[in-house]
Amino acid sequence: MRRTDRLFELILILRDGRLHTARDMANRLEVSTRTLWRDMATLIASGLPVEGERGVGYILREPVTLPPLTLTHDEVQALTLGLQLVTRGADPSLTRAAESLLGKVTAVLPARLLDGIGQETWVFPGGEALAAARHLPSLRQAIRLRQRVVIVYVDSTGQPTERVVRPLLLEFWGRVWTLASWCETRLALRSFRVDRIEALRLTGEPFPDDPGTTLADWRLLHGG
């Protein structure tokens, strides 16, 4: 988490007016208590009305008003729907991020725009999405770092095969996640249902942009 994001999170934590220990806040932000002490010193030096010290805790003595976001009702609905979609997609790390983002947004939205926030207007069910959840963080990492992965894939007949693939894109189809990739085992562009990946291993090996194997080639092939 970037330091500016941590400082914002600390303000959100302290806004309840309760005493918070450095250890508790550090655990929530997944940082060391030493880092937390430095962050609190920065907030106090910037004029935030906080009282406290190491070994005792910190408390916000005066209300803090954060600047409101300028959003329309339709934009709020779009945001809510997007966050619901992410949480229902069953990627644990993105679920936590979406919940954190919703908390940040509701903390600064004017009261007149809060109607409907948090209410579920769409549902994205499906055991397939849940089955895919365990692989989504690793696949996102491999796509971001452009690294090969080894998968054990079970086809529609129940037969498992081991493949070395270059992951290009994750797509969510309402119930099913699919992985667009270049399959080095079959030497072809392939789409794999993530819920049918029985096992996955990150290799840490980068892959090149060979002609005919890229995301642009995939989109050209599928009219995207």
pLDDT, position 3: 82
Q: Determine which of 38-47, 105-114, 193-202 has the lowest per-residue pLDDT on average.
A: 105-114
pLDDT at 87 over 90: no
Whether 164 contacts 180, CB under 8 Å? no
Angle of the 3-14 helix axis to the 22-29 helix axis, nearest 10 = 130
- Split at pLDDT 50, 70, 90, the class of 90 is low
pLDDT at 224: 60
Instruction: Give residue 147's pLDDT band: very low, low, confident or very high (50, 70, 90).
Output: very high
What order do you get walking across the sheet with 197-206 strand by strand? Answer: 188-193, 177-183, 160-172, 147-154, 197-206
pLDDT tens-digit series, residues 10-33: 888 888 888 899 899 999 888 999
Report which of residues 104 and 139 the model is more confident about.
139
User: Of the segments 47-51, 54-58, 172-176, 178-182, which one has the largest average pLDDT value?
Assistant: 178-182
Q: Let me know: does 59 contact 20? Beta carbons within 8 Å.
A: yes
Tell me the average pLDDT across 37-63: 83
Confidence (pLDDT) at 44: 85
**Among candidates 180, 178, 185, 171, which has minimal Cα distance to 214?**
180
**pLDDT value of residue 88:** 62
Helix boundaries (H) for 89-197 = 92-108, 127-132, 136-145
Q: Residue 102: pLDDT band by 50, 70, 90 thresholds?
A: confident
Q: How far apart are CA 33 and CA 22, in angstroms?
A: 6
Q: Which phi and psi (to 5°) does residue 84 adopt?
A: -60, -45
Give me the amino acid identity at 213. T
From the list 135, 131, 130, 133, the residue with the least C-alpha distance to 149 is: 135
Q: What is the pLDDT of residues 156-171, one digit of tens each?
A: 899 999 999 999 999 8
Q: What residue ranges define each of the domains in the chain, with the CATH number in brackets?
A: 3-60 (1.10.10.10), 73-113 (no CATH), 129-221 (2.30.30)
CA 29, CA 196: separation in Å to the nearest integer?
A: 34
Using 50, 70 and 90 to split pLDDT, how confident is the model at 107?
Answer: confident
